[in-house]
Chain A
Amino acid sequence: MLSSLAIAAVCSLSATGVAQQPVVKPPAAAPVTAKPVTEKPAAKTKTAAPVAKPVEAGPAEAKPTEGQQEPAPPPLPKRTLTKFTTGDGSRFVLIHDPSMQLVHWVIASWADGSDDPPGLTGLTLATAQASLNGTWATGSLDATAEQQALIELDAAWQKRMANPGKANFEAELVRLDKAAKKLGDPRTFQRVLAAAPTFRPEVTYRDPIAIMALTTIEPAIAHVAKLLVERREDQALRGLMRVWLPNVLQRLQAHATQPRRRLHAELLALVHPFSSGIQRLEPPPLLAPTREQAMAVWQSSQHPTRTVHVLFGSLNAPQTKATLAAAFATTSLPAPSPRRVAPLRPITSQRRSVVPGIPGTGIVVGWVLPAQIDPWALEVGVRWLARPDGSLLGQLRRTRPQISITCRAPWPRTSDGQGLLLLDIIDPSGKPGLGPEVVQICQQIANDKLRGNPYHYSYMSLLHDWNKAANDSRSVAITMAERALMWPKTSLNRQSPPWVKPASIAAALRSVFVSQPAIVEGRR
């Protein structure tokens, strides 16, 4: 059977592969359209490239016949990128890839706590997750009655949280929950999305960004757009507490199992005491948001001016742009207050702190990132610092062989690289003097003259990680949406990490280490 199967397959290959003379067709002309803000990929077409000729068999036939005029090479199929903002303020990035058949649609929005009321950190993400349970128009059997039922349920939750363990409040909650469930069906909106058609609509969290992603096909874009606008404008936040409570429990668990979060929170408190990131790292209080609070958070975090849409795949960009412009023309959501992101200034004198009760000795060190830092130079530099061939880990391991380093920047992730370069260093030896040693080596790195390209392997590891993940076009679309939200001014023409000059990486690291760090030491 082996032979018959393999031979069948191979025969079909040889029959088509060797004997068939490929049919030459002229490449289809691209539609000529006006693109107000269109970026073209940076890749260059090699006009002087050798001619592509059909090959019948073997290398000999591949060569053009002597004296023949070599025709001009065909233009390479292109990915095109179109950026625009629709009437309601939504930012769109359309990436047309002629080799794809699907369209991945990703909406990225901040869930970093800047929209959350005090004590309710994580509410932005919970509302985004609950948003797939439908709208008043889609999913409600009687919108007025359901709204009333949800208000009553909301009040019951507040009573229940204020009076834990009281059976009468518990019973009332169950009764009202059942009543509300009878008036709305969270599956309806998902069913409608599935029929649009879309595949796997879901909301995921890529700290601190909420990602709404789905996969569809070009003919359905108009219909999906309509549903996404409906989701934004007519949100019911049905079943919010079913999302909120597990999220809170998960964060409590994370806090209990990851004691180094306390070090990270302390570092932020030293450098950026008003950062919403501190609350994300601390154990959340057991509170229930009111519907009013949740709706305010939803409207603020999902306001069109706060979101970025990336559509990646097989699409006609001008046509899609027109469709989206029509669908995302206006919004009835109230204008949001400016994002609560306090400016971060480099610190001028070293700040230190000690946190007791941390298993596994070590420190966390943070430097404030300067403004306008090159994100790719920073990314390569961060990798280099944590690699054994890098100067920092290499030098530290001479005296502390078991030491390990995690390096992140910008940390916490926020827009335009406003954040810290974080070094989380674990030294099982517990030898004293780790903090000063780290700071000294980093200052030495800032002062060292660049010789050769010490960052080569770090850049290759970045490329490797990209290539490992880029096979899945949906995750590429998500990465693009994250990039567009985090680095609004960065170019998205190139998907894979661009080459970064060693001098730029050295300069980026120098600009970071020139300031003073904050150091938090963990003690058992």
Chain B
Amino acid sequence: MSHRHARRGSSSTLLVVIALAACGAPPTPPPNPEPNEPVVPAPVTPQASSSLEQQTLRLSNGVTAHLRVAPTGSDTRVQLGIFAGTTLVAPGLAELAAHVLVESSDPTSGRASLRRQLQALGGAVDVQVGLMTTWLDIRTPTNKTIKALEALRGALESVTQSRSQIERMRTELVTEFAARVASNPIPVVTRGLLQGERGTGSYLNSLLDLDPSDVSLFQSRLYRPDLSLLTIAAPQPLQETIKAVQAPAETAMAGWKPPPPIPGRPKILDRPYSSGLYWAETPGLPGLVRTAIMMRLPDASMDGAAEWLMMHACLTLDGTGGRLEQMQDEAGLPQIQWRTHIEQTPDAQALVLSAMVSPEVAAALWRVLNRARQSLSEVPPTPSELELALRRAQLNATLPTMSDAARLRLAAQLETRNLAPDALARRLRELADPSRWDLAKAAAAFQQTPAWMVVVGAEPAPDMPGVIKFDALPQGFEANISSAPTPQVIAATGPWLIKARAAMGGEEVFEKLKGFRATARLTAAQAPPAEQETIWDRSGRLTRQRKLLGQVVMTNLDKGSWTETLGKVKKSLTAREARLLRHEMMRHPLMLLAAHKRGAIQFRPIAQRNSGDREMMVLEALGTEFDRLRIHIDTESYLIRTVESWERLPDETLVRVHETWSDYRAAGEMRAPHRLRTMWNDGEHQTETVFSEWLPTLKP
């Protein structure tokens, strides 16, 4: 199955209309257990829609609230949905941001994390992240509803900005994720696919690569009242719940008013579902692999859901029955005991069939699955197949509501979109009459619905076409998550740096490199261009002359003297300003490689990352000189393409500096980049430096 299915998780935004058609002669249907005892399609119990039992309102701060009365005897459920899912950002960022929100505490004020506060109330919180949305699902005893809402608001207003706290939380998240992959990778991989990921290894790489500032930016821009949906189901009169969300303004959700968002927009990554056979090679039992077939199921809010469910039920019931089993038997595959479960994110769900089989059977199963799906178009289902499918589809239609949280989410979605809760059940009943739908069209549309197969274990056969290989865990993963890297981990970076030096001049010349002289032209948007001459020595001596609008600014750093001169005006620089300037010079790729060569700086591996058409090895500097300095080495040319770091400005503001180096050319005995694009934070301010000359200063 090579088609890329561009369906996004949120049915509310991207809907695929599945049309239906009727066709001809069928294969033998699966046995009907009770042919003379048809189950009369019955409506799914409708949710009460009276305004006395549920209501949707807009709070004064812009939060949309969907409030319901829950049956007596149930606990209160508070769910905050934010339109901030995985598709909007780098893999892992939405999860990390939600994790930080739930786990942030403030030891100075004594505020415990949201999780702990709820725990002390006897409640619990769960984080669910989908393609489009992030949800905090809270359950609490009903008499603690107001306190739980206060805790939620408190958490939204006091998310930690501490880099060390966020980094610690990231480590927790990474460790927990890796442990789940190690113990049972199938549910983790299948869930990742539903979130638009391409495998657990690349996901972890990305998570490790995230910077705490990414979290703060993400939360500032997307955790906002006007992008939030608050749903509450409580076994109490609706009016009490309405009051609880509105007053008092100091603690109720209606009073949540975050500061204005940081300017800019998050970069939206295109992450469509891509059906396929995903294969991870890991050590395991000889001759056996873990495998799973995953097929997405629609929910009641999606157009064409009824027809989709019918086709799915013709394909398979619960791993047994249907075309899939029939074709498995025809292909001579052994009987497989499938374990089934529903994998669910807030925006999508899928039926997962998992089993242990041989690698050969796994490969054959993928072919059989595709043939069985196609057969629905080539040989349309028979009336008896359809009768069985109709019965099954009624159950499958309700599977997305297995959990209380998912049920409330769906109810809120249907209500806010003005969709009848029983619309899907009604449509399914209509499908009992073949004249009411186009079977052929439905079968054709079904071919476009996502279906994946995951295999974890032995290596796939070399001649297997279309396998999408992924790493269950990134290479050298254990080393990466260690907060104190071992000598072996540090040594692992050696080959990369040696090759980088070889690509830029060789070990001998780097041994002699002590500084550089450069002439360059600087340009920036909405600023006049500047000409600049620089002489830098690694001892810390800098002479820089910058010509701007006919004026010359001279900067000198020399041991204890740091000055800047404009005409006759001379000004001393602060230690912080001097350090900034020195860092700018030290971050030059060749200077970093030279520092490593003489042992002044060490690195540890972070990730091997695909970036567009290039693969990069990302290394992070150890020690206290730099704050999270990372270099990206091109794994083909071994040139350093990017250097990123955090710098503290004279006014203590922390900025992220992202430098992209290109146009590597001969520069004396070395090869040096002649173009530099510098971005501050996430691109709100950019400059470009083009070097007309760059020459190394070498020791004799």
Binding site for B on A (CB under 8 A): 1-3, 5-6, 8-10, 12-14, 16-18, 20, 22-28, 41-43, 45-46, 49-59, 62, 73-74, 76-79, 97-102, 138, 185-188, 190-200, 215-220, 223, 227, 314, 457, 459-464, 466-468, 470-474, 493-496
Contact = CB atoms under 8 A, between A and B. Distances in A.
A271 B399 CA distance: 47
A227 B33 CA distance: 10
Contacts of B69: 74, 76-77
22 contacts: A2-B88, A8-B13, A9-B132, A13-B416, A14-B64, A24-B52, A52-B238, A52-B239, A56-B57, A62-B239, A76-B235, A99-B74, A100-B401, A101-B401, A191-B30, A192-B31, A194-B320, A195-B317, A219-B42, A464-B118, A470-B139, A496-B141
A477 to B, nearest CB: 11
Contact of A10 (B83, B318, B341): B83
B401 A102 contact: yes
B402 A102 contact: yes
A498 to B, nearest CB: 11
A54 B137 CA distance: 25
Nearest to A24: B51
Contacts of B341: 200
A187 B235 contact: no
Contact of B394 (A24, A197, A461): A197
Nearest to A73: B237
Contacts of B401: 100-102
B77 to A, nearest CB: 8
Contact of B48 (A52, A77, A100, A195): A77
Interface string B77-92: 0000001000010000
B237 A314 contact: no
B72 A41 contact: yes
A12 B417 contact: yes
B161 interface: no
A194 B237 contact: no
A191 B416 contact: no
A54 B53 CA distance: 10
Contacts of A199: 318, 340, 395-396, 399
Nearest to B44: A101
Closest 4 CB pairs of A and B: A463-B122, A22-B51, A194-B317, A52-B238
Given A49-B239, A219-B40, A467-B122, 7 more contacts: A62-B242, A76-B69, A98-B48, A191-B325, A460-B121, A461-B119, A474-B402
Interface string B335-347: 1000011000000
B171 to A, nearest CB: 23
B50 A218 contact: no
A152 B341 CA distance: 37
A22 B229 contact: no
A194 B392 contact: yes
Contacts of B319: 194
Contacts of B226: 10
B37 A223 contact: yes
Contacts of A76: 69, 71-72, 235-237
B505 interface: no
Contacts of A227: 33
Nearest to A313: B45
Interface residues of B, number: 99
B126 interface: yes
A49 B140 CA distance: 21
Contacts of B320: 187, 190-191, 194
B518 to A, nearest CB: 40
Interface in B406-454: 407, 415-418
Contact of B53 (A27, A457, A460): A27
Interface string B552-587: 000000000000000000000000000000000000
Interface in B25-58: 30-34, 37, 39-42, 44-45, 47-58
Contact of A5 (B33, B42, B83, B119): B83
Interface string B230-262: 000101111110110011000000100000000
A16 B418 contact: yes
A197 B392 contact: yes
B217 to A, nearest CB: 13
Given A46-B237, A79-B74, A197-B395, A471 B41 contact: no
A17 B64 contact: yes
B589 interface: no
Interface of B: 10, 12-13, 30-34, 37, 39-42, 44-45, 47-60, 64-66, 69-75, 83, 88, 118-124, 126, 132, 137, 139-141, 226-227, 229, 233, 235-240, 242-243, 246-247, 254, 265-266, 268, 317-321, 325, 335, 340-341, 388, 391-392, 394-396, 398-399, 401-405, 407, 415-418
B40 to A, nearest CB: 6
A99 B394 contact: no
A16 B568 CA distance: 67
A219 B75 contact: no
B53 A59 contact: no
Contacts, number: 293
Contacts of A470: 75, 139, 404
B395 A217 contact: yes
A58 B341 CA distance: 43
A99 B268 contact: no
B402 A460 contact: no
A54 B50 contact: no
A58 B187 CA distance: 43
B388 A195 contact: yes
B52 A471 contact: no
B239 A53 contact: yes
A89 to B, nearest CB: 26
Q: Counting chain A CB atoms within 10 Å of each CB, which of B57, B72, B226 scores highest?
A: B72
A150 B74 CA distance: 49
Contact of B402 (A9, A187, A188, A473): A473
Contacts of A193: 318
B75 A101 contact: no
A2 B37 CA distance: 51
Contact of A471 (B126, B317, B394): B126
A23 B25 CA distance: 49
A177 B49 CA distance: 58
Contacts of A223: 33-34, 37, 39
Contacts of A217: 42, 44, 394-395, 398
Contacts of A43: 72-73, 235
A234 B147 CA distance: 55
A482 B132 CA distance: 38
Contacts of B404: 99, 470-473
B395 to A, nearest CB: 4
Contacts of B242: 52, 55, 62
A6 B83 contact: yes
A200 B391 CA distance: 16
A219 B237 CA distance: 31
A187 B132 contact: no
Given A76-B71, A200-B340, A467-B123, A195 B32 contact: yes
Contacts of A215: 395, 399, 402
Contact of B407 (A23, A100, A220): A100
Contacts of A494: 73
Contacts of B407: 99-101
B227 A59 contact: no
B55 A54 contact: yes
B391 A195 contact: yes
A100 to B, nearest CB: 7
Contact of B240 (A45, A49, A197): A49
Nearest to B229: A13
A159 to B, nearest CB: 26
Nearest to A70: B239
A460 B119 contact: yes
A9 B412 CA distance: 12
Q: Give the residue among A14, A17, A193, A495 with the most B Cβ atoms within 10 A.
A: A17
Given A190-B320, A471-B137, A473-B404, A78 B236 contact: no
